Amino acid sequence: MVRIAPSILSADFAKLGEEVRAIDDAGADWIHIDVMDGHFVPNLTIGPAVVRALRPHSAKPFDVHLMISPVDPFLEAFAEAGADLITVHPEAGPHLHRTIQRIRQLGKKAGVSLNPATPAKALDYVLEEIDLVLVMSVNPGFGGQKFISGQLRKIEAIAKRVAKEGLAVEIEVDGGVDMTTARQCVDAGATVLVAGTAAFRGGPDHYGANIAGLRGTE
Ligand code: DX5
Ligand code: ZN
* ipTM of the modeled complex: 0.98
| Burial readout 15-47 (b: 16 or more C-beta within 10 A, e: otherwise) | ebeebbbbbbebbbbbbbbbbbbeebbeeebbb
Closest ligand 1 atom to residue 43 Cα is 6
Q: Is-contact 145 138, C-beta < 8 A?
A: yes
The whole-angstrom separation of Cα 158 and Cα 178 is 21
Q: Which ligand is nearest to the CA of 10?
A: 1
Task: Give the model's pLDDT for residue 7.
Answer: 99
- Please state the residue numbers annotated as binding site for substrate: 7, 65, 141-144, 174-176
Active site residue 29: no
User: Whole-prediction pTM value?
Assistant: 0.98
Q: How far is the CA of 218 from the centre of ligand 1 (A)?
A: 22
Q: Is-contact 29 56, C-beta < 8 A?
A: no
Question: Is 140 near ligand 1, meaning CB less than 6 Å away?
Answer: yes
4 to 39, 63, 73, 104, 138: CA distances (angstroms): 28, 11, 29, 24, 18
Task: Give the model's pLDDT for residue 191.
Answer: 98
What's the CATH number where 116 sits?
3.20.20.70
Domain that holds residue 106: 3-215
Q: Which of 34, 37, 131, 178 is catalytic?
A: 34
The whole-angstrom separation of Cα 92 and Cα 106 is 18
The list of the chain residues with pLDDT below 50 reads none
Structural domains of the chain, count: 1
